[in-house]
Structure 1
Amino acid sequence: MSAGDKVQNAAEKATGKAKEAVGDATDNEELVAEGRADQAKADLKDAGENMKDAAKDAKDALDR
């Protein structure tokens, strides 16, 4: 995973947490849901990037 991807995913996750917190504070269920969705999206991106990294590592190990 590139550093840029890590930063982008971390920023998306932080934005989601902020939206969720503001939604909780203002009793805005739509904002809470949007924040949780943003966090889940960032988690899925992280998982996908980790899978790509693992596949690359496995390929590199087989090429040796």
Structure 2
Amino acid sequence: MILVTGAGGAVGSALLETLHAAGHSVRAAYHAQRDVDRVVAAGPPCSSVACPRTTPTP
């Protein structure tokens, strides 16, 4: 399993495609929920996606 952080960027998204095409099992981490929503709607080339909390909980 390979985790790609910043998967919504130009390099991260290209890396996801390359790893998927090579048959690797990939997980993706995104900075923004909108990126997760976009990728899930398109059918991600990875087994799961995550959007970590970027602001601390009070």
Q: TM-score, normalised by structure 2?
A: 0.35
More strand as a share of residues: 2
Larger helix percent = 1
